[in-house]
Amino acid sequence: MESKAIAKYVRISPRKFKPINNLIRGKNVDEALAILAFTPRAGSPVLEKVIKSAKANAENNHNMNADKLYIADVYANQGPTLKRFRAASKGSGVKILKRSSHVGVVLKERA
C-alpha cells in the first residue's frame, strides 16, 4: 500500500529540488521532516508541506501506521515555463525563462 501527494505549478525550478530530493529519499518520514527543517534551500518548505500532506493521506485515507512510513519516492518534474523578455542593449530583448515544477512524494509502510 502506498500514499502520495503532489504539489503542482510550484514556482521553483526542478533543478533546485534535486539535491534536496536525494537527501530525503529512503528515510523515515519524521527523519526527513527534521532534515528539511534545517536545510537552507528554496524548496525545503515546499517539500515539507508535500510530505505532511502525504502523511495525512496515509493516516486518514489508507489507515497506515504513521511510525512505519518511509519515503519510497520523491520527484520534481518540469512544469510549464513562463516566458518573459527583459530589455537589453541596442533595442533588443533577452529571454527570461521562469520555470515551474510539479513536486510529488510517495510514502510506503515498512514491513
72-111 pLDDT, tens digit per residue, is: 999 999 999 999 999 999 999 999 999 999 999 999 999 8
* Phi and psi angles of residue 27, each rounded to the nearest 5 degrees, phi first: -85, 160
Structural domain range at position 6: 2-109
> For residue 46, what is the domain's CATH number?
3.90.470.10
Q: pLDDT tens-digit profile of 9-39?
A: 999 999 999 999 999 999 999 999 999 999 9
Whole-model pTM above 0.95? no
Count of structural domains within the chain: 1
- Distance, in Å, from the CA atom of 35 to the CA atom of 101, rounded to the nearest integer, reads 22
